Amino acid sequence: MSDALFDRRARRKTVSLTINADLLEKARAAGINASRTAEASLEQALREHHREQLRKEFAQDLRTWEDYVDKHGNPNDDWREMCREADAT
């Protein structure tokens, strides 16, 4: 499974962002590359969003499994019983 959420080789695109002027000035004075910093921040935000989406999907899957077990019983119980019977013979 690849953990790439985006194509790192994609071309860069010039965009217009609104940023606090004082913050930008101080970041530039400190030698901070605003474009790279913004890109890294967007990547982190995208990763967090992706993780949250996965958590929601996993939670839904677990609820679906629990509903199935409540209605039909745990199929693993049947498997364990078959294994015990096989071991006893």
Tell me if 58 is assigned to some domain. yes
pLDDT, tens digit, 9 for 90 and up, residues 9-52: 999 999 999 999 999 999 999 999 999 999 999 999 999 999 99
Q: How far apart are CA 73 and CA 62, in angstroms?
A: 15
Residue 14 lies in a domain: no
Say whether pLDDT at 77 is over 90.
no
In this structure, are residues 40 and 5 in contact, taking their beta carbons and an 8 Å threshold?
no
Whole domain around residue 70: which residue ranges? 21-88
Please check whether residue 3 lies inside any domain of the structure.
no
The helix (run of H) or strand (run of E) holding residue 2 is: none
Domain count of the fold of the chain: 1
Q: What are phi and psi of 24, to 5 degrees?
A: -65, -45
Is position 69 within any domain?
yes
CB within 8 A of 28, min separation 6: which ones? Answer: 34
Is the model's pTM score more than 0.85?
A: no
**37 part of a folded domain:** yes
Per-residue pLDDT at 82 exceeds 90: no
Strand ranges inside 18-76, DSSP E: none
